[in-house]
A and B are shown apart, each in its own frame.
Chain A
Amino acid sequence: MSTTSASASAPAAGFDPVPVRRSPLARFTKRATRHPGFMAGAVLLAVILVLSIGAPLFTAHDPYAQDISRRLIPPVWHDKGSWEHWLGTDKLGRDYFARLLYGGRISLMIGAATVLLSGIIGTALGVAAGFFGGRVDMVIGYIINVRLALPVVLVALAVAALVGTSLNTVIVVLGLLLWDRFAVVARSTTQQIAHADFVGAARAIGCSTRLIVFSEVLPNILNPLIVVATLEMAHAILLEAALSFLGLGVQPPLPSWGLMISEGKQYMFFSPWVITIPGVALVALVLGINLLGDGLRDVTAPDNRS
């Protein structure tokens, strides 16, 4: 960045317009707002975030309150639907819209917590491999290979069945399994800058390895890691839904979208909306996160590489 501004202050040659000097944040916002995918993802995700976090503001219903006399009421666009339960009710008469909103909290929470855990593991391994190279790199590369060979869904299911199924189990198991992409990306990006001049300079003035890693390496590999984090968050949310669907993830009566689909499965032939509604919510959330992640990759890419 400093090199471009230095050359910009040189007299502009020929017809080159004089580049305007902008702060990184201003550049980011300018690029981001011009990227349709990024904006679509950001809006989608923002809507879901507001709806789930502010759930009590948008529905008066309790997501756990059962009413057996009002089971499987269809959504409002059906003949028998009503505005009181505008997305209908489930097999226990619980308001579907309320369960959807509170279920969003579970998905977001699992996605964020899993990525935090797997991000720390993967980044630590990847930076160590890329920074130290040699034997360390070989051993960590080997660990990554072993991890990749393990079938994720099967191992997650088996561990959940052994340890006992709960929200925390899902987070820990997925966090311990989904760090591979963080490690791969952190390793290759660290390798690229491990021999850069500024790292050598830091070493020459006597900085400790820890200081170099935290103040020189990490800030420079942060952008690609944030991209990985968004994509892995989507991955974790999809896996949680699959685990809950198979009965070994989030447990009833918690409202998880995967669990809602699982509970609705036996009614889907006559009331298909019981699986359509949570399914569409899942697609919207994952699509939003993925678009945001793909957009971030383009927006934070060095120079205009469109």
Chain B
Amino acid sequence: MLAFLLRRLAVALSVVLTVSVIAFLLLHLSGDLATDLAGPEASPEQVARVRVEYGLDQPLMVQYGQWLAGAARFDFGRSFYFRESVASLLGDRIPITLKLGAIALGLALAVAIPLGALAAVKRGSWFDRAALAFCALGQAVPTFWLGLTLIIIFAVNLRWLPVSGNATWSHYVLPSVALGWYAIPAVMRLTRNGMLDVMASDYIRTARAKGLRPHTVIFKHALRNAVVPVVALAAVQFGFMLGGSIVVEAVFSLQGLGQLAWEAIARKDFPVVQAIVMLLATIYILLTFLADLLNAWLDPRIRVA
């Protein structure tokens, strides 16, 4: 197990490093940043001063080294736009996006796992078919459009919930539904398939044969085992949600990481964009690493691979 852990850790770390090179190069090879920064009316001297001030006169390798060294300590330099450190900008926005992602994931799991389990138990019934049809339809709905439609229905017509902002808990309801929606079909299908596999296994037949009540068999014996791969999927989905929250935050004007990223891209505020790409990638890598470990811990066969 230790060898497996170290090997996976080495891979995860080198993926983080590669992503950092991509994030850095992507935004640095795109032309002369200093000219952009100084503005269209700047004199050559002003451009030169900006170049020195932001360290853009250094060789690319040196700039990358400095940026990486800073990034390792969560210091991503200063924003081009706000004249504030990127780290403090991120610090303000991260809690909002994490909260949104956590509620969205919670909602998605709370809907998808029971539906998937029930669909498997009643395999082939109208309920199973309806659940699968719901999955197909669910995956076809664009997140931003779902968000706008939820606003029209629940905020404008029914007036149950606020349109946008992040002042209270009720402001998170609609964005979380919009963000969690896309994860429901995947989780539901996995739960359903997992349940079908488990229900066909010998130990479930034994449990049934010794006369346990059906719902004890289903919930205590079957669902517990069927849900194991779902935990790993949930970790990955959470990573996707943090990346996808950019669309939802734009729709609901939630001032989270996604909104910051979108605004930073529009303003060519590269240090902020780089930092957010790096942060989201690192979180994703960490989550998949933990999911791998969990799977390996639960299923020793994986450790050999």
Contacts and interface: CB of A to CB of B under 8 A. Distances in A.
B280 interface: yes
B22 A146 contact: yes
For B16, B18, B284, which residue has the most chain A Cβ atoms within 10 angstroms? B18
Contacts of B242: 151
For A150, A275, A276, A290, which residue has the most chain B Cβ atoms within 10 angstroms? A150
Contact of A153 (B16, B22, B31, B244): B244
B137 A149 contact: no
B102 interface: no
A269 B149 CA distance: 10
A234 to B, nearest CB: 7
Contact of A245 (B26, B27, B151, B247): B247
Given A145-B11, A148-B284, A286-B140, A155 B265 contact: no
B156 A269 contact: yes
Interface residues of B, number: 44
Given A150-B19, A246-B250, A287 B243 contact: no
Given A158-B277, A276-B149, A238 B19 contact: no
A146 B18 contact: yes
Contact of B148 (A162, A275, A283): A275
Interface string A69-94: 00000000000000000000000000
Contacts of A291: 136
Interface in B265-300: 265-266, 268, 273, 276-277, 280-281, 284-285, 288
Contact of B281 (A37, A149, A247): A149
B139 interface: yes
Contacts of B243: 151-154
A248 interface: yes
A282 interface: yes
Given A149-B15, A152-B243, A279 B281 contact: no
Contacts of B142: 238, 241-242, 258, 279, 282-283, 286
Interface residues of A, number: 43
Contact of B136 (A146, A276, A287): A287
Contact of B265 (A146, A157, A238, A245): A157
B280 A242 contact: no
B148 A265 contact: yes
B143 interface: yes
Contact of B247 (A148, A153, A272): A153
A268 B152 contact: yes
B144 A154 contact: no
Contacts, number: 123
Interface string A256-268: 0010010001001
A148 B265 CA distance: 21
Contacts of B42: none
A153 B257 CA distance: 13
Nearest to A279: B145
Contacts of B281: 149-151
Given A145-B15, A245-B144, A283-B142, A154 B137 contact: no
B149 A279 contact: yes
Given A150-B19, A155-B277, A261 B265 contact: no
Given A154-B243, A242-B142, A246-B247, A261 B27 contact: no
28 contacts: A142-B15, A148-B284, A149-B16, A151-B284, A153-B247, A154-B276, A154-B280, A155-B26, A157-B246, A157-B261, A159-B26, A162-B30, A162-B31, A241-B144, A242-B142, A242-B144, A246-B250, A247-B266, A265-B148, A269-B152, A272-B152, A275-B152, A279-B145, A282-B142, A282-B145, A283-B141, A287-B136, A290-B139
Interface of B: 11, 14-16, 18-19, 22, 26-27, 30-31, 136-137, 139-145, 148-149, 151-152, 156, 242-244, 246-247, 250, 261-262, 265-266, 268, 273, 276-277, 280-281, 284-285, 288
Q: Which 4 A-B pairs have the closest CB atoms?
A: A151-B243, A287-B140, A286-B140, A279-B145
